[in-house]
Amino acid sequence: MSDAYKRAGVDINAGYEVLKTVKQMSGNAQLGAFGGLFPLDAKTTGNEPVLVAGTDGVGTKLLVAIAANQHTTIGIDLVAMCVNDILAQGATPQFFLDYLGLGHTDQARVKAILSGVVTGCQQAHTALIGGETAEMPDMYGERHYDLAGFAVGVANRADLLSPTNVTVGDVLIGLPSNGLHSNGFSLVRDILFKQHDYQLTTVFEELGHDLQTELLRPTTIYVDAVQPLLQQKLIASIAHITGGGLIENVARALPAGLSAHLKPETWPVPPIMTLLAKLGDLTTSDLRSTFNLGLGMVLIVHPEQVNAVTANLTANHQAYYQVGTVQAGDTPVVFEEAKHA
């Protein structure tokens, strides 16, 4: 390798070793070519195939992983953010690529990061066909890195989900999240570490464990739960609850003139979110427009399909809640508060 390049802070040999490790972890010996290959066959593409692509990152949750020096799950978050978006379009994720930019190629740390990507791809039944690890010492600090992903799925055009499929009377079925997932972390960090001086080792009674454990819970991947429903054409529309919380994302799954009426008492809110509300003096609106509040996905289902959907979810060991209905109205998302005698 170039000694001059190494003196400038870039270790090419370390990058080669990382590539060998990822090949071993993923089982894909073709990694390292100039482009990734993925074969399409008639069984997966249908009569009029449409490719559905999504790209995303993990946001400032990375700063928590860096501060904790715990990198093995952040790659799961990355895969989840991309493949869940593809599922919400009604497509089956097929392949994934990652981008890792960092200040220094610490092989143990890079292996930990990419092991999470491999695990996420396995959970999503998605092929890892390529990626890039870029060492840029003047761009990032020695311990800092950024992570982005790109996924592609396929669907038959006629089977794509659309808000136009939704009608009055449809039922909203929520799939529980695994905590905060990967959204709202700038606010989370501000409340916990700037407004207050808590540490990642701080244990709250409400949580039952330290903040590091809670904040680094990986985003749930919903492929196993949702894919059978898509194959059986049981879903009208899906909202993946990410940045913008329930208010913004449920609205994206609805057509104009229809309103999702959610009943907050029908599902549990994770303790971390009520804790953040108390510590940060957050309003109900703040919570609903920032966090998933315990629902990682909301499925919109025609009434006659509800029994089949819930039976499928139960068979796949997926917890769920019936959280509301679709009604006529100009306010996209309405929270119906419980009435007490």
Residue-wise pLDDT for 119-141, tens only, equals 999 999 999 999 999 999 989 99
Structure confidence at residue 337 (pLDDT): 79
User: Phi-psi bin for 294: left (phi > 0), alpha (psi -120 to 50), beta?
Assistant: left
Q: If 0-12 CB within 10 Å is exposed, 13-18 middle and 19+ buried, where does residue 257 land? A: exposed
Instruction: Mean pLDDT check: name the lowest of 14-23, 38-47, 94-103, 107-116.
Output: 14-23
Q: How many CA atoms lie within 13 A of 30 on its CB side?
A: 9
Q: What is the mean pLDDT of the chain?
A: 90
* Dist. CA 103–CA 137, nearest whole Å: 4
* pLDDT tier, 22 (very low <50, low <70, confident <90, very high otherwise): low
* 334's tokens: 């309405």
Say which residue, 49 or 189, is predicted with more confidence: 189
* 262's tokens: 């959610």
Instruction: Mean pLDDT check: name the lowest of 18-22, 75-79, 136-140, 270-274.
Output: 18-22
Domain layout of the chain by residue ranges: 3-159, 163-335
* pLDDT tier, 34 (very low <50, low <70, confident <90, very high otherwise): low
Q: What class, spelled out in words, does domain 163-335 have in CATH? A: alpha beta
Structure confidence at residue 325 (pLDDT): 98
Q: Is the pLDDT of residue 283 over 70?
A: yes
Structure confidence at residue 5 (pLDDT): 41
Mean pLDDT of 211-236: 98
* pLDDT tier, 42 (very low <50, low <70, confident <90, very high otherwise): low
* 275's tokens: 């804790």
User: Phi-psi bin for 244: left (phi > 0), alpha (psi -120 to 50), beta?
Assistant: left
How much is the pTM?
A: 0.89
Mean pLDDT of 212-220: 98
Structure confidence at residue 10 (pLDDT): 47
Q: Is the pLDDT of residue 69 over 90?
A: yes
Architecture of domain 3-159: 2-Layer Sandwich (3.30)
163-335: same fold as 3-159?
no
